[in-house]
Amino acid sequence: MCFIGIFVIFVSWFFSTRVPSILIFMLIPCVLVFSTRRFFFLYLFYELSLVPILYIILKWGSYPERSVSAIILLIYTAIFTLPFLGCLFRLYFLLGSFSISYVSSSTFSWLFTFVVFIAFAVKLPVYGLHFWLPIAHVEAPTFGSIILAGALLKLGGVGIVRFLPLLDTIVLRMVCTSYLLVFLALSSLICCFQSDFKRLVAYSSISHMICIPLLCLREVIISTKAVIIVIFFHGLSSPLIFMLVGISYFFFGRRQLALTRGLILFSPLLSLIVILSFFFTLSAPPYPSFLSEVLFFIASYRLSSSSLLFFIVFIFFSLVYNLNWLNSILFGPSVSATTSKLIQLSSFLPLIFSHLLSFLFLFLIPLF
C-alpha cells in the first residue's frame, strides 16, 4: 500500500494533476482489512475502501458517465454486500462475538458460503460481476486507475483468503469450478477485441483475478502460496501498465490502439521500458512473477486435470492481446511529439526504469 501511495504521488506530479492528500489517507482502510481480527471491522473497512473509488469517479469523471458509473457501483455494493452484513449479525446472534477465532467451518451453511463468496467476488471482480470495473477505469484518471488496480481490487482476494478456512469449499468447488474455468478463457478472449487501451487493461485485470477464486477452491498449501503471489505481483504489474496508458494518452491524445503508433521512432528508452513492462505483465522469466504462473499451473492441475486445457487457452489469448498492444504502440507510422513533452518525459523515464529493475532483481533475490 505504501508503494502504491508513493507511486501515485509521483505519477500525479508527472501529469501535473493535483492529488488531494485525503486520497492517501483513504488507503488506511485497505491496510486495516489485512490486520483486523473482527468480522464486523473487516466488513466496515472493506466498505470504506469504496470511498476513494466514488470520490475519484465523481470528481474527475466526465458527465453524465460519472453519475452512471457511481450509481452502478453503489447498486452492486447494496445488492451483494448488505446480505453479507446480515450474515455477520446472524453469526453474532449464534456465537455472541465477531471474533474470527470463535468461528469454525461448520458454522457456515452453503447459503452463508455463497453470500460471503459473492460479497468479495464483486470487488475482485469475477466475470459476471465485473460491469462496474471497466466504467470506473475509463472514468478515472491515471492515478485513480493505479489506486483502483493496485490496492482496492486486491481487497476482494484478501477477504476470500481470510474467510477461506470458514467456507464450505466443497460446495463452491461443485458449483463454481466450471463457471470460473469457462470465463477464465472467455475473458482473455474478450481482451483480444478491445480497441481502447484502458479498457483492455481493465478486462485483463478481470481475467487474471479469476485465478484467485480458482486457487482458493483447492485447499492445499501450494494454492494459498499461489494466491498470495498472484495478488502481490498483479498489484505491481497492473499499476505499471495503467501508467503506460497514461503516458500513451499524454503523447498521442487518444487511447485507441489503432491510432497510437510509432513510439519506438522518437523515444527508444520509453520503448525499452514498454517492452520490459510487457514481459513483466506476461509473467515471463526472469521476472519472479513467472513463479505465480508455475504455481497456478500446478494448483489448477490438482483441482482438475481438464482445467489445464482452459489454462492453456488463457495463456494463449493473454499472449495475443499483450502482443497486440505492444505492436500497436511501438510500430507503425510515426506520430508527432512536441519537444516539451519529450523533455518532460526524459526526467520521468529513469524512475520508471529503476522500478522495473527493482521488480526484476529485488524480488528475485529471496527465491534463491
236-257 pLDDT per residue, tens: 888 888 888 888 787 777 788 8
Report pLDDT for 49.
77
The pLDDT value given to residue 272: 81
Tell the residue number behind the cell numbers 472467455, with chain if given: 186
Integer CA distances (angstroms), 156 to 49, 122, 126, 199, in order: 11, 7, 10, 20
The model's pLDDT over 284-321, given as tens digits with 9 standing for 90+, comes to: 777 777 877 788 777 777 777 777 788 888 888 988 99
Helices (H), 140-284: 142-147, 154-163, 169-191, 197-209, 211-216, 221-252, 263-266, 268-281
Tens of pLDDT, residues 178-208:
888 888 888 888 888 888 888 898 888 888 8
Closest to 202 (Cα-Cα) out of 144, 251, 272: 144
* Average pLDDT of the chain to the nearest whole number: 76
Cβ(301)–Cβ(249) under 8 Å? Answer: no
Domain boundaries defined on the chain: 2-367
- String of DSSP letters for 104-149: -GGG--HHHHHHHHHHHHTTTTPTTS-THHHHHHHHS-HHHHHHII
Residue 113 cell numbers, joined? 458460503
**What is residue 298's predicted lDDT score, i.e. its pLDDT?**
79
- Of all residues in the chain, the percent with pLDDT exceeding 70 is 76
Band the pLDDT of 365: cuts 50, 70, 90: very low
* Crossing angle of the two packed helices 169-191 and 307-330, in degrees rounded to 10: 30
Residue 224: which residues within 8 A CB-CB, separation 6 or more? 161, 164, 215
Contact (CB, 8 A) for 353 and 273: yes
Q: Which pLDDT band, with edges at 50, 70 and 90, does 367 fall under?
A: very low
| Tens-digit pLDDT profile for residues 55-103 | 777 776 655 666 676 777 777 777 877 888 887 887 777 777 666 665 5
The C-alpha cell of 349 is what?
Answer: 523515464
**pLDDT tens digits for 108-141?**
677 778 888 888 888 888 888 877 788 777 777 7
Q: Tell me the pTM.
A: 0.84
CB neighbour list of residue 210: distance below 8 Å, 6 or more residues apart: 124, 126, 127, 180, 183, 184, 187
Nearest to 47 by CA among 123, 114, 115: 123
pLDDT of residue 288: 74
Give the span between the Cα atoms of 120 and 158, in whole angstroms. Answer: 9
Kindly give, in sequence order, each residue whose CB lies less than 8 Å from that of residue 59, ignoring residues fewer than 6 positions away: none
